[in-house]
Amino acid sequence: MQAIDELKARFDRDGFVFPITVMSEAKAATYRAALEAAETQFPDLINTKTCLRRYPNLVLPFVDEISRLPAVTDPVAALLGENLLALDCPFFIKEAKTTSFVSWHQDLTYWGLEGEEEVSAWIALSPATTKSGCMRFVAGSQNQTIAHRDTHDPDNLLTRGQEMVVEVAEDDAVEIELRPGQMSLHHGKVFHASHPNISDDRRIGLAIRFIPTHMRQVEGGQMAAMLVRGVDQYQHFRRCRPPSGLLTDADLAHWQEISGARNAVMMNDSP
């Protein structure tokens, strides 16, 4: 009880909480191996431009499994309630010694949701360190809404290369270092960014976007979401179906339809 109260207090004050251990390093290594086997077997589909970018939980059973682990959803349920949807869960992968980065941004400014009841769980499947380009958060920044501009910088991992129009004091950033199997939770409006990976290993993170079932989408068209905990008595989002196997044809067709709708929302108003 005390731990949950402390988690909520830290989340409310800072807009993030870390590190939370959700599995052993050995278990994280098995999920990483499953990911890398799929990347090798299906290189045209299991890459950061296609199925790893949007709803990998629809085609990769192990991603669906991670999104339902009680160790992951218990802390989220303490913040959002017992009935949870996963609204997408993109992988953010930076290859070793590459220039990919993430500019300073707030998530919720371009997702078309009503209100701010959203929590991202970022789960490390490899070491997230300052050297590998871990996420960086500005504590307490979730209480502001900042305009963003699209840059479409090809090195930026964000959909539109969007960035906040204000300068962020780099010294204010907290480095969110995580061991494989640990996660951070962040508020959808906390300022966050990450530098390139200058380490010798890949930096692999799975970012699960959790929302309570009563959340509504108010802009950009109807998106789909996966019920991962509790019941959905509202049905505000189109339902996703858990994968039936590894990248089956039926699941791929389902993925295409659903990811297309989310892409339309994410690019809404983008020049």
Ligand X SMILES: O=C(O)CCC(=O)C(=O)O
Q: Which is nearer to ligand X, 38 or 93 (CB)?
A: 93
Of positions 142, 159, 194, 259, contacts ligand X by CB under 6 A: 194
Name the minimum Å distance from CB 2 to ligand X: 28
What is the spatial distance between Cα 226 and Cα 239, in angstroms, rounded to a whole number? 6
Strand-pair category, 16-21 with 119-124: unpaired
Q: Which residue has the tokens 């299991």?
A: 46
Q: Hey, how many other C-beta atoms are within 10 angstroms of the C-beta on 145?
A: 11
Cα–Cα distance measured from residue 111 to residue 97, given in angstroms and rounded to the nearest whole number: 31
The position carrying tokens 């085609």 is: 59
Nearer to ligand X, 192 or 254 (CB): 192
Angle at 157 between CA 15 and CA 119, to 5 degrees: 25
204 sits near ligand X (criterion: CB under 6 A): no
Q: Is 207 in the site for ligand X (CB under 6 A)?
A: yes
Tell me the per-residue interface mask from 35 to 74 with ligand X, x by CB under 6 A, - otherwise: ----------------------------------------
Helices (H) and strands (E) in the chain, counts: 5, 14
Site string for ligand X, 85-104 (x = CB under 6 A): -------x---------x--
Residue in 108, 135, 227, 247 binding ligand X, rule: CB under 6 A: 135
Q: Which is nearer to ligand X, 107 or 163 (CB)?
A: 107
Q: Is 180 in the site for ligand X (CB under 6 A)?
A: no
Question: What values do phi and psi take at 248, rounded to 5?
Answer: -75, 160
The SS3 assignment for 85 reads strand
Is there a contact between 106 and 247 (Cβ–Cβ < 8 Å)? Answer: no
Smallest distance, Å, CB 167 to ligand X?
Answer: 18
* Residues at the contact surface with ligand X, assessed by CB under 6 A: 92, 102, 107, 120, 122, 135, 192, 194, 205, 207
